[in-house]
Amino acid sequence: MNCLICKQGATKDGTATVTLERSGTTLILKHVEAEVCENCGEAYLDEATTARVLRAADEAAYRGVQVEIRTLAEGRPVADLPIAA
C-alpha cells in the first residue's frame, strides 16, 4: 500500500507506538502491530488491532488511570471490563 499521508513511501509490516487521550486518560501503547510507511513513518492499524487499542483505552479510562504506558502484546486479551459511560 502507498502512504496516504506523504504519497511517496510504501508501507511494510512493523510496529508503532500509539498514544490516545480519552476521558482524562493518556494511554501509550508500544509495539502495536501496524503497516508503517518507509518514508514518513505513518502507521496504519488493521480493524482488529484498532479494536484492541480502543478496548485498552476504555479499560484504562474505566480504571481511572491518568497516564499509562504499556505494550499491546499480540494474543493477550484486554480485560473484559464494562466500559465507563
Q: What are the grid coordinates assigned to 55, written together?
A: 478496548
Fold of 11-71: Ubiquitin-like (UB roll) (3.10.20)
Q: Please write the tens of the pLDDT for every residue from 51-81.
A: 999 999 999 999 999 999 998 866 555 554 4
Q: Please write the tens of the pLDDT for every residue from 22-53.
A: 888 999 999 999 999 999 999 999 999 999 99
Domain boundaries, the chain: 11-71
Let me know if 18 is exposed, middle or buried by CB neighbors in 10 A (0-12, 13-18, 19+): buried
> Strands 43-44 and 11-22: what pairing?
unpaired
Q: How far apart are CA 18 and CA 31, in angstroms?
A: 9
Q: What are the grid coordinates assigned to 39, written together?
A: 518514508
Residues paired with 18 in a beta bridge: 29
Higher-confidence position of 20 and 74: 20
Place of cell 500509539: 18
Global pTM reads 0.78
